[in-house]
Amino acid sequence: MNLFELTVHQILDQIKAGKISASSVLAEVSARAQTLNVKTNAFVRLFPSPEIKAGPCPVPIAIKDNICVKGELTTCGSKILKGFKPPYDAGVVDKIKASGGLILGSANMDEFAFGSSCETSAYGPTRNPWALDRVPGGSSGGSAAAVAAGQALWALGSDTGGSIRQPASFCGVVGLKPTYGRVSRYGLIAFGSSLDQIGPFTKDVTDSALLLNIICGFDERDSTSLNVPVPDYTKALVKDINGLKIGIPQEYFLDGIEPDVAAAVKAAIEVFKKQGAVVKHISLPHTEYAVATYYIVATAEASSNLARFDGVQYGLRAMPPNLRKSPLIDMYEETRARGFGDEAKRRIMLGTYVLSSGYYDAYYLRAQKVRTLIKQDFDKVFSDCDVILSPTSPTTAFRIGEKINDPLAMYLSDIFTIPANMAGIPAISVPCGFDRAGLPIGLQLMAKPFAEETLLRAAYAYEQNTPWHLERAVL
């Protein structure tokens, strides 16, 4: 088997046994990343070959293009950050480098994480390694595709409304969104500050636990980082889930789910039952309002966060050929008109509208109240359940271009992932089968805040009793 097909824990075992070297792994993965990027466009840029330093985890990793890497271009998949090189590393990058991690490059993404397909990037769409005419999901599509294609052994992405879990589902890999505040957001270029969370993409659940061990922890530079103990997540990887209480929400099994997805998820439920889990039907009654609520809260925060990109301090600066108003106003308008893509402009306008005088109470304030109700739904369920199970996405990967001109259809791609962000809870997507076209299907598990150990235990027990995580895309 090629080195790029192995999991990180398999690679580390072989390095420890002296069978392979970190340099040989880096050389093989780097070569594959370079060669295959013509097909996948998973990376927007590959960095110069990193120096191998001492550390427990000297393996190649892809970093989403909205996570700052000191001295390297970091552009959020947007023209407006043209030429921007951060003067510091993000908190998670600090931790990756301290562990000996080797950063390959910036993974492609929907512009400013605005999208569910990785088609809105200024650098062109990323293609799904399982079918190059399909999207990899978004917004962290490049990270998911890189892992699925063997262009990186693992990757980091960010999840605001499903941007780790949905692409993980589409690309047949494991994607985990930690509890809000569990992982530092320092150096993550913000989309929705109360929703964003950095998390891992891996080939299996064991690797997810390993990477979580590296990136979790308190960071005083991030005001949303929580100072709570960080366990060794690998100790949660046990197959015994006898008595684990799993809730099946009726609101997550709708008529719009593709039949192959529904069948795969129902088969997964039976696997849990055979392992001794207690399955019960539950209700999360405010789920139907989650998408509408999210696209008020998230766009409001995006409008505020993106106001800083105006051509003054960094990134693109543009002037019209002829003076229209004043040099300053003209520069603002021309920079933002040229720098932002259509989806970014759409979300900025939506967010500005819901925050504007006369509409704040009717939209933003009401949305925050509904968000509280959504969180209370989860709190109630978790008083009697350990894990909630659902599909990750109602569909498998759709064709490139299929939904790009239909924003509502695109937004509904995240219908099952958005509620976890609204409530701030951890959630994971693991492979659970393939549809009749051979496209991966994802199973989502959610747990109460800071119960990543429970989440990993359930995911690992399922994974070890099914073959899906062993499948690899052929390119």
Positions marked catalytic = 64, 139, 163
Closest to 449 (Cα-Cα) out of 374, 382, 371 = 382
Max intra-chain CA distance, the chain = 72
* Residues 121, 44 contacting (CB under 8 angstroms): yes
Q: Where are the alpha helices (DSSP H) in 179-289?
A: 205-215, 259-274
Q: Residue written as tokens 């962290």?
A: 140
Q: Measure the CA–CA gap between 395 and 381, rounded to whole angstroms.
A: 26
Q: Measure the CA–CA gap between 87 and 68, rounded to whole angstroms.
A: 9
HSE (side-chain half, CA atoms, 13 Å) at 76: 24
Q: Residue written as tokens 């909630």?
A: 388
Question: Strands 102-107, 278-282: parallel, antiparallel or unpaired by DSSP?
Answer: unpaired
For residue 44, give the 3-state DSSP assignment.
Answer: strand
- Residue 92 CA, chain-centre distance (Å), reads 14
Question: Strands 245-249, 387-391: parallel, antiparallel or unpaired by DSSP?
Answer: parallel
DSSP state of 364: I
Q: Residue written as tokens 């999840």?
A: 159
Closest to 443 (Cα-Cα) out of 469, 411, 412, 423 = 469
Q: Residue written as tokens 């369920």?
A: 381
Contacts of 304 (CB under 8 A, 6+ apart): 351, 355
Strands laid side by side in the 245-249 sheet? 43-46, 102-107, 60-64, 154-159, 197-202, 174-177, 427-434, 440-446, 387-391, 245-249, 278-282
